[in-house]
């Protein structure tokens, strides 16, 4: 009968046989299993590449730990990159690799009770499909940093504390209107390239948590993801079918849905308009203004 930690033994044995290079590719990686995996790699190996993905909802659910970045800070051989669209699981040691279904988690590797049923197959690194996927992953990945890891953890804790689930888990999109008044600041913080005062960052992190955008997206892809999330707001439906939407209509709809006071609904309306102009192809006309699809004519 197969041992419960059969998958773990496959990975550990592969790592122990490495001499020059290790690659770990898995969407979900838990810190404890990651550290055990690194401990199996001989000291002679000069480079350990890790590719994973971090989304606030998945981290909040406990299936992935951005704290694996701490290993890269302790061990200069370790390089961690983020591939937001990652689903493949590949483990490489020199010219050998394991491919299959198992993430680097306790349940996937059989390191905890009630483990998952998983599969890893030993194939040559030169297999065309392995090379195709590794090449695709490289083209879609961005370096992980301690700043980004900390931001994802903050977002995850907000979701966990408020018990908010992602639509990807089968539930409807939670009620959300953007809070950040300057939408241009959102990607600046998300990417880790700019920091702000604590009150400003708190609002941006709240918005990022509700957006649940995977870490590591390029700005164009990030903007597209945010626009898609804005389109899920029911009060903006008229814009999606090419119609105009006045500020009065939008403000009234927000009051009806939330029961917010008029001044708060007006602020929400103004913020929504700013986000739609920044992240999408919409513009406003002055006066009792309207949001319109497309770009403003000059």
pLDDT digit string (tens) for the chain, length 298 residues: 568 799 999 999 999 999 999 999 999 999 999 999 999 999 999 999 999 999 999 999 999 999 999 999 999 999 999 999 999 999 999 999 999 999 999 999 999 999 999 999 999 999 999 999 999 999 999 999 999 999 999 999 999 998 766 555 555 667 899 999 999 999 999 999 899 999 999 999 999 999 999 999 999 999 999 999 999 999 998 888 888 888 999 999 999 999 999 999 999 999 999 999 999 888 776 555 677 777 654 4
d(CA 204, CA 222): 14
Contact 135, 91 (CB under 8 A): no
Burial label, 130 (beta-carbon count in 10 A; 0-12, 13-18, 19+): middle
d(CA 86, CA 27): 6
Burial label, 112 (beta-carbon count in 10 A; 0-12, 13-18, 19+): middle
d(CA 208, CA 190): 8
Question: Residue 298's pLDDT is what?
Answer: 45
Question: Residue 173's pLDDT is what?
Answer: 64
Contact 37, 104 (CB under 8 A): yes
Using alpha carbons only, give the angle 167, 172, 173 rounded to the nearest 5 degrees.
70
Burial 145-164 (b: 16+ CB within 10 A, else e): beebbebbbbbbebbbeeeb
Q: How many CA atoms lie within 13 A of 274 on its CB side?
A: 16
Question: Residue 175's pLDDT is what?
Answer: 85
Name the token pair of 226.
């945010």
d(CA 88, CA 133): 8
pLDDT tens digit sequence for 214-228: 999 999 999 999 999
Contacts 24+ apart (CB under 8 A), 286-291: 288/246, 288/247, 288/248, 289/246, 289/247, 290/244, 290/245, 290/246, 290/247, 291/239, 291/244, 291/245, 291/246, 291/247, 291/250
């Amino acid at each position: 009968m197969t041992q419960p930690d059969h998958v773990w033994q496959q990975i550990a044995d592969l790592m122990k046989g490495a001499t020059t290079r290790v690659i770990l590719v898995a969407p979900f990686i838990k810190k404890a299993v990651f550290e055990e995996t690194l401990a199996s790699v001989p000291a002679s190996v000069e480079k350990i590449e890790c590719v994973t993905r971090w989304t606030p909802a998945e981290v909040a659910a406990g299936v992935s730990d951005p704290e694996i970045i701490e290993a890269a800070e302790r061990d200069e051989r370790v390089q961690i990159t983020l591939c937001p669209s990652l689903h493949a699981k590949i483990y490489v040691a020199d010219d050998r690799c394991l491919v299959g279904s198992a993430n680097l988690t306790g349940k996937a590797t059989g390191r905890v009770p009630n483990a998952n049923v998983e599969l890893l197959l030993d194939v040559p690194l030169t297999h065309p499909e392995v090379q195709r996927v590794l090449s695709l992953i490289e083209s879609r990945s961005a370096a992980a940093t301690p700043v980004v890891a900390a931001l994802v953890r903050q977002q995850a804790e907000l979701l966990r504390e408020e018990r908010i689930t992602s639509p990807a888990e089968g539930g409807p999109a939670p009620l959300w209107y953007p809070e950040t008044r300057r939408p241009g600041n959102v990607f600046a913080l998300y990417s880790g390239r700019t920091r702000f005062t604590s009150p400003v960052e708190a609002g941006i992190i709240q918005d990022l948590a509700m957006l649940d955008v995977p870490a590591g997206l390029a700005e164009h892809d990030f903007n597209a993801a945010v626009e898609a999330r804005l389109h899920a707001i029911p009060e903006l439906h008229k814009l999606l079918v090419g119609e105009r939407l006045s500020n009065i209509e939008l403000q009234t709809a927000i009051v009806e849905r939330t029961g917010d006071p008029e001044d708060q609904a007006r602020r929400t309306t103004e913020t929504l308009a700013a986000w739609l102009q920044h992240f999408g192809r919409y513009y406003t006309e002055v006066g009792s203004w309207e949001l319109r699809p497309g770009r403003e004519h000059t």
